[in-house]
């Protein structure tokens, strides 16, 4: 298979997968996912494309803004695994003034089926704790100025002192 052809297909899959267009999302699930595919998300894990479609409907109903990514720069595909760097916009439809941007990583895992074609059998969406903390302004300030500087910094300094004392005691 021409590598440019497979790159073009993966870019189309990713674009449609993150689109809020239900027809595009359904097409991706129907043509490129196995029927027993698993979606693992920070809030839940579901099995089967039917259930993944339900999660998509709920997510797009309650969240009014599509994720953001650069199709050429933020998608890496090695022929078996695709990794996509995404900025999820958490903007609830019922509270439009609330808007958090959470950096996330989506991993699509492919396997070859009996027809010799690759299909997605697992989608893993991951959010880091640091990304979540950074996305909430007041929490971010509290974490950066109090937790990291006072608590974690003192913990590391204290541990260093303890190790230094233990080494001098052992000698």
CA-wise closest residue to 104 among 76, 122, 124, 120: 124
Among residues 33, 108, 24, which one has the least CA distance to residue 66? 24
The pTM of the full predicted model, rounded to 2 decimals, is 0.72
| pLDDT for res 141 | 56
On whether the CB atoms of residues 91 and 98 are closer than 8 A, the answer is yes
pLDDT at residue 31, as a whole number = 95
Helix (H) or strand (E) holding 37: strand 33-41
Bridge-based pairing of strands 33-41 and 118-127 is parallel
Tokens in use for 169? 């005691």
- Per domain, the residue ranges of the chain are 3-128, 136-171
pLDDT at 158: 56
Which pair of tokens denotes residue 110? Answer: 């492919």
Task: Report the alpha-carbon distance of residue 42 to residue 64 in Å, rounded.
Answer: 19
* Cβ proximity of 80 and 53 under 8 Å: no
Closest C-alpha among 127, 157, 104, 125 to residue 39: 125
Task: List the chain pLDDT tens, one digit each, 171 residues.
Answer: 444 447 788 999 999 999 999 999 999 999 999 999 999 988 899 999 999 999 998 888 888 888 887 766 788 888 899 999 888 877 787 887 877 788 889 999 999 999 999 999 999 998 876 665 565 566 555 556 555 555 555 555 556 555 666 666 666
Which of 117, 106, 110 lies closest to 18 in space, CA to CA?
A: 106
Sequence-ordered list of residues with C-beta below 8 angstroms from that of 129, at least 6 positions apart, any chain: none
For the segment(s) 3-128, the CATH number from 3.10.450.50, 3.20.20.60, 3.40.50.1370, 3.40.1350.10 is 3.10.450.50
User: Residue 83's pLDDT is what?
Assistant: 93
Q: How many CB atoms lie within 10 A of CB 108?
A: 23
Q: What per-residue confidence (pLDDT) applies to 167? A: 64
pLDDT value at residue 103: 85
Locate 161 and state its tokens: 């002192």
User: What's residue 166's pLDDT?
Assistant: 62
Closest to 162 measured CA to CA, from 148, 154, 147: 154
Angle, nearest 10°, between helix axes 22-32 and 3-18? 130
Query: Which residues does residue 127 pair with via DSSP β-bridges, in sequence order?
Result: 104
């Amino acid at each position: 298979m021409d590598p440019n052809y497979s790159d073009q297909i993966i870019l189309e899959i990713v674009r449609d997968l993150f689109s809020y267009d239900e027809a595009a999302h359904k097409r991706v699930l129907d043509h490129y996912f196995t029927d027993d595919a698993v979606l693992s998300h920070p809030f839940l894990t579901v099995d089967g494309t039917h259930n993944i479609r339900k999660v998509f409907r709920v997510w797009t109903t309650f969240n009014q803004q599509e994720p953001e990514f650069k199709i050429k720069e933020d998608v890496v595909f090695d022929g078996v695994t695709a990794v996509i760097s995404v900025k999820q916009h958490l903007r609830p439809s019922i509270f439009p003034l609330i808007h958090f941007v959470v950096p996330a990583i989506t991993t699509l895992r492919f396997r070859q089926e009996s027809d010799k074609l690759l299909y997605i059998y697992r989608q893993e969406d991951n959010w880091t704790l640091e990304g979540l903390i950074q996305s909430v302004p007041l929490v971010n300030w509290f974490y950066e100025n109090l937790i990291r500087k006072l608590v974690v910094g003192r913990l590391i300094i204290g541990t260093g002192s303890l190790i230094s004392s233990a080494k001098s005691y052992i000698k």
